[in-house]
Each structure stands twice: as structure tokens, then as C-alpha cells.
């Protein structure tokens, strides 16, 4: 049996998402659960980005302000430096303080909102290194919504920060299964590269770092992972090439010189 799904924004007719699912009718209930899980996992990230883009064109509420600070559309900060929306500049200390304030508020009052929980957890992990607090919040978010691809993505980062590469890999594999065409798929690739590197699996890490960098060429962590893996594998020329690219990109990102916090976090993980 083939089931096709499509999501259209009825207010403007914009196409948001479409996919198809193939399965056998041997167990109709298992097929039903599989389709429901895949549809929820695939729709959620695209729907959220669509809503964020709408909010960015209007006056944002405080929850979306905190999301935009740490997850701006098409310019997500990921594992290196937190960016704001104005041209990829680093967040100021005041913006980081506000983001953390809003995130901690969300952790207190959003205990039944899985999206608020994992986003707030991601924020306190990246900006304040409160990984144990973040892990607890993400676990609750995933109990509330086990089909949240981005929740599993956030779980990967926190697990890496807690030196737990195996749970990190499993979390991101689940995220990929839930949302194989995710708009932020390069985060999935980058997270898997980092997790495999943390596990000492250098070939596997390279397999994920290369497509991550191809999809998002400003993503320094992908090059950093490639550099370290090539060095471990004795591939001197490739390591030197990655180093040259890394230095060129770093020079172009002024924020790196003034905000070393996130890069230091990655170095600790490597």
C-alpha cells in the first residue's frame, strides 16, 4: 500500500510539505502507527519554520523571540557560535542573558509543552553549559512527544556534551527516521559526525561531516571534525586542506574572535 500526504497553508496556498509512505497490509495497525509517526515527525519542523517565518514578519511574542534568538531561520547557530538575525553577527552578552532568562522561564512554566522544553533545554545547554538540566528537560519533552525530530536532535547535542556518544548516535538516527528531508538536516549530519568522532569512529564521522559541510558551507564544526578525523587517520594532505578552509572561514566570521565559548565547548568534546 502507498499512502501520500500533503500539507498546504490554506491562507495563501503555499506548499509546506509532501511525502509518501509504502508499507504492507500484514499488520494494518503497525502500518498506521508508522505513517502517523512519520507524518508527525516530518511535518513538525517544517510547520515550525513556517510559523517562525510568519512571526518574523510581524511582532513576535516572547516565546518566539527566544526561538529566533537561538534558532533563526536558515541561520541556526548549532554547535559553534550563537547568532542573531542581523547578518549572522554573534549574539551580544545582553542577548545571551535575555535568551537564558526566557529559556529558564520556559522550563518553569512550559512543562507540558514539548517544543518549549527542548528549545529551552537546547538554549541553556549551548549558552550556559547546563547539560544535566537540559537533559532532564529534553527527556520530558520526548516523553510528551516521542515523534519530535528536533527534540531528538537536541538530545544528541546534550548527550555528546555528557560524553555519551552511543545515546547521541541513536537519538539522531531516530531524528533522521522521523524527518528524512528536514530543512535543518545538516544539523543531523553534523551531530552524527560529532557523535561518531566522540566514539573514536573516524571514518564514520567523516562520512557525516562531508555532506554536512556541503549543505551548509559556513558550518565550522564540520570542517573541524574533518580536520581531527583526517589527523587521526594519518591523512595529512586532507587535514592540511581542511585546516586552510577552516582558517579562511574563521577569518570571515568576526564573531569567532570575540566569542570563543562555543568553540571551546567543541574542543572539549573532541
Q: What is the Rg, in whole angstroms, of the alpha carbon atoms belonging to the chain?
A: 19
pLDDT digits (tens, 9 = 90+) for 41-93: 666 666 666 666 665 555 445 444 444 444 443 433 333 334 434 334 567 78
Mean pLDDT of 25-54: 69
Q: How many beta carbons lie within 10 A of that of residue 250, not counting itself?
A: 17
pLDDT digits (tens, 9 = 90+) for 130-150: 999 999 999 999 999 998 999
Mean pLDDT of 246-255: 69
Helices (H), the chain: 28-56, 62-70, 93-109, 114-128, 131-144, 149-161, 165-178, 185-198, 202-215, 220-232, 236-252, 255-258, 261-269
Q: Say yes or no: domain 2-269 is CATH 1.10.357.10.
A: no
Q: Is 61 exposed, middle or buried (0-12, 13-18, 19+ CB in 10 A)?
A: exposed
How far CA 147 is from CA of 31, 44, 76, in Å, comes to 15, 9, 21
| Residue 104 grid cell | 529558564
| Residue 212 grid cell | 554536512
Residue 2 confidence (pLDDT) above 70? yes
Instruction: Quickly state the pLDDT bin for 117 (edges 50, 70, 90).
Output: very high
Rounded distance, CA 41 to CA 48, Å? Answer: 12
Mean pLDDT of 238-246: 89
Angle between helices 261-269 and 220-232 in degrees, nearest 10: 30
- For 46-86, the DSSP string reads HHHHHHHHHHHTSPPPHHHHHHHHHS-TT---TTT--B-TT
Q: What is the DSSP letter of 201?
A: -
9 φ/ψ angles, rounded to the nearest 5 degrees: -75, 105
Mean pLDDT of 21-39: 72
Mean pLDDT of 165-171: 95
What pLDDT sits at residue 82?
Answer: 41
Q: Which of 55-69, 101-115, 119-133, 208-222 has the lowest mean pLDDT?
A: 55-69
Please report, for the chain, the start and end positions of each structural domain, with discontinuous segments joined by +: 2-269
**pTM attached to this predicted model:** 0.67
* Spatial CA neighbour of 128 closest among 265, 238, 268, 23: 265
Q: How many beta carbons lie within 10 A of that of residue 182, not counting itself?
A: 21
Amino acid at each position: 500500500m502507498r499512502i501520500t500526504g500533503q500539507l498546504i497553508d490554506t491562507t495563501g496556498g503555499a506548499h509546506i510539505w509532501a511525502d509518501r509512505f509504502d508499507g504492507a497490509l500484514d499488520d494494518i495497525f503497525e502500518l498506521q502507527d508508522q505513517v502517523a509517526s512519520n507524518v508527525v515527525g516530518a511535518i513538525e519542523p517544517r510547520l515550525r519554520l513556517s510559523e517562525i517565518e510568519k512571526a518574523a514578519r510581524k511582532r513576535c511574542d516572547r516565546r518566539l523571540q527566544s526561538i529566533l534568538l537561538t534558532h533563526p531561520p536558515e541561520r541556526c547557530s548549532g554547535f559553534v557560535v550563537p547568532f542573531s538575525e542581523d547578518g549572522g553577527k554573534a549574539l551580544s552578552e545582553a542577548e545571551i542573558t535575555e535568551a537564558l532568562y526566557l529559556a529558564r522561564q520556559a522550563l518553569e512554566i512550559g512543562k507540558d509543552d514539548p517544543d518549549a522544553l527542548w528549545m529551552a533545554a537546547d538554549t541553556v545547554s549551548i549558552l550556559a553549559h547546563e547539560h544535566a538540566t537540559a537533559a532532564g528537560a529534553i527527556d520530558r519533552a520526548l516523553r510528551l512527544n516521542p515523534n519530535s525530530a528536533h527534540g531528538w536532535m537536541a538530545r544528541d547535542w546534550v548527550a555528546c556534551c555528557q560524553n555519551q556518544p552511543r545515546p547521541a548516535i541513536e537519538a539522531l538516527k531516530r531524528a533522521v527516521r522521523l524527518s528524512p528531508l528536514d530543512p535543518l538536516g545538516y544539523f543531523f549530519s553534523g551531530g552524527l559526525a560529532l557523535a561518531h568522532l566522540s566514539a573514536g569512529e573516524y571514518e564514520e564521522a567523516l562520512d557525516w561531516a562531508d555532506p554536512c559541510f556541503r549543505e551548509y558551507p559556513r558550518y565550522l564544526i564540520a570542517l573541524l571534525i574533518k580536520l581531527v578525523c583526517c589527523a587521526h587517520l594519518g591523512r595529512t594532505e586532507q587535514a592540511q586542506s581542511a585546516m586552510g578552509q577552516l582558517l579562511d572561514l574563521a577569518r570571515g566570521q568576526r564573531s569567532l574572535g570575540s566569542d570563543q565559548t562555543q568553540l571551546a565547548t567543541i574542543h572539549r568534546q573532541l
